[in-house]
Amino acid sequence: MMAAGEVRSVLFVCLGNICRSPIAEAVFRKLVAEENIENQWIIDSGAVSDWNVGRSPDARALSCLRNHGIQMAHKARQVTKDDFLTFDYMLCMDESNLQDLKRKSNQVKNCKAQIELLGSYDPQKQLIIEDPYYGNDEDFETVYQQCHRCCKAFLEKPH
């Protein structure tokens, strides 16, 4: 039996929800599955923009995840007003995401979400997870490594 209130929710957020945030979502999902605590977490990802709504993750993000033994099925979506009321955590990638989310959160009453940089959890202190859209496979691997370190730390000890 599990008491009410023990389910926590996290939304990973980036610019387009096809590169960084799907990687973070997939990595966090795997960490949670490895600890057999899937029933304790609601996990999703979204975009600050509407550029890629409905699209699958970038092929380079999928191939990076596949290299690490992770499957992912996701369709990009934009963050909604409701997300600010329902999610406990919104973890984003860079200062521009943070600014966009803070601005959007000011337009909702009773914002519940704690809005933070995912990189604020990095034990190696790489605060910003850079947009790899114009980058190469190595940049996607860097994103993966940052997400992995940060998601592990977040799961151990959310702020």
d(CA 83, CA 90): 9
In terms of CB distance, is 32 or 44 closer to ligand 6LJ?
44
What are the residues facing 154 on neighbouring strands?
A: none
What tokens does 43 get?
A: 């996990």
- Shortest CB 137 distance to ligand 6LJ, Å: 16
In terms of CB distance, is 53 or 108 closer to ligand 6LJ?
53
Q: Report the candidate in 21, 19, 15, 18 with the shortest Cα–Cα distance to residue 150.
A: 21
In terms of CB distance, is 52 or 146 closer to ligand 6LJ?
52
- Shortest CB 106 distance to ligand 6LJ, Å: 23
Q: Looking at the annotation, which residues are catalytic? A: 14, 20, 131
Q: Which residues bind ligand 6LJ (CB under 6 A)?
A: 15-16, 18-19, 51-52, 131, 133-134
Residue nearest to ligand 6LJ (CB): 16
In terms of CB distance, is 86 or 96 closer to ligand 6LJ?
96
- Shortest CB 119 distance to ligand 6LJ, Å: 17
- Shortest CB 16 distance to ligand 6LJ, Å: 3
